[in-house]
Every structure is written in C-alpha cells, then in structure tokens.
Amino acid sequence: LGLSVGLRGEVGKNTELRTAGTRPAGELYTGVLYDALGLASLEADARRRAAKSLLVFSGLWGAVRIGDRIPPYR
C-alpha cells in the first residue's frame, strides 16, 4: 500500500480491533468541534442530554452515541 513506517503500526493495531480495549466515543474523537463542545466540562444534565441526542459518524463503526464504547482506531 505504500504506507509510511508510522502508519504500518496503526494498520497492525486495526487487525486487533475485535479484542482491543474500548472507551466511550466521546473520549476518543478529537478536533475543532469536539473541543468546542467541551464534553468533559458539561454539567451532569447537559452531559445526559448530549448522551441521548448526539451522534458521531464513524467511517468504521457508522453512527455511534458518545457513550458507546469503541476501540481506538485510525
């Protein structure tokens, strides 16, 4: 595939996704929108509403809620 050395390791990790440890999706994803949301800083009521109404669209897992546990991947 012409992958860099760094990405080869990531591809190897992806072959172990079925047995990898998981974390809530809201803790895994990063970027401008996630930073602006400030999920960790929300009050309990707002966090509960977010857990019910927010979806993350993952290329690998499809639509997941922020509390759904998924393994880190790249």
Can you list the residues of the chain whose pLDDT is less than 70?
1
CA distance 19 to 36: 32
Q: Supply the pTM of this predicted model.
A: 0.75
Q: What is the pLDDT of residue 56?
A: 93
Are 30 and 18 a contacting pair, CB within 8 Å?
Answer: no
Q: What is the pLDDT of residue 2?
A: 76
Strand partners, 70: 23
Q: What pLDDT shows up at residue 16?
A: 84
